Amino acid sequence: TRVGILISGRGSNMEALIRAAARDDFPATIALVLSNRADAAGLDIARQHGIAAHAIPSRDFRNDREGHEARLHQELIAANCSLVCLAGYMRLLTPAFVQSWAGRMLNIHPSLLPSFPGLDTHAKALAAGSRIHGCTVHLVTEIMDEGPILAQAAVPVLPGDTESELGARVLAQEHIIYPMALRHYLGQPAIPADASNALVSPCA
């Protein structure tokens, strides 16, 4: 399966997917990385791994969301991608784009959905007094941070945690479950020994 990854920034989840997919036994190839921001650090990281990567800046399409996404779609199709992974892609997608990739687009979100959709999830978990927090890989539907859950990993919230300490603990799990969920979604067993606190949905 050829996979296109959409990013907006740092690209650490993208890199986790690239590293996992570089293994012989992984059922997907990362064919293309696209960013909606020209300054996304992840673009260089992708290129260092030999992956085609470039920006289609959303600022060039200011009042033309459809036009921007039509370009994304074209490039994904031209690269023969049949699956899309959102990895820190910070723009809401139009219903038309979501529909054209229905069942073929995954996202990673830094909370245990359905708790804390949207931004600032770690601050929200701390403010809520959550004792357990985590991350979720899910299929993308038209509603932001909804859609069938494919995998989740939980981490403890420790006394005195700052937002960044908690975020780092969650991020380490994101890097484990995203490749794991993708692999499982593509029909291969997906429970590595180092992710004993992560679960994939049996129905996935």
Of 194, 204, 188, 145, the residue nearest 173 (C-alpha): 194
- Interface with ligand GRF by CB under 6 A: which range of 6-14, 20-28, 44-52, 56-64? 6-14
- Does 88 belong to an annotated binding site? no
Q: Is there a binding annotation on residue 36?
A: no
Residues numbered 99-138 forming contacts with ligand GRF, rule: CB under 6 A:
108-110
The verdict on whether residue 201 carries a ligand-binding annotation is: no
Catalytic residue from among 68, 73, 109, 175 = 109
Tokens of 120: 């600032």
Q: Is 109 a catalytic residue?
A: yes
| Minimum CB distance to ligand GRF smaller for 77 or for 111 | 111
Window 48-87: contact mask with ligand GRF (x via CB under 6 A)? ---------------------------------------x
Binding mask 12-31 for ligand GRF (x = CB under 6 A): xxx-----------------
Please write down the long-range contacts of 16-19, taking CB distance under 8 Å and 24 or more positions apart: 16/174, 16/175, 16/176, 16/178, 16/179, 17/85, 17/87, 17/178, 17/179, 17/182, 18/45, 18/46, 18/49, 18/51, 19/49, 19/179
Q: Which stretch binds ligand GRF (CB under 6 A): 3-11, 26-34, 58-66, 186-194?
A: 3-11
Pick from 9, 23, 11: which is nearest to 182 by CA?
23
Which positions are catalytic?
109
The footprint of ligand GRF (CB under 6 A) covers: 7, 9-14, 42, 87-88, 108-110, 171, 174
Known binding-site residue numbers: 11-13, 65, 90-93, 107
Known binding-site residue numbers for (6R)-10-formyltetrahydrofolate: 65, 90-93, 107
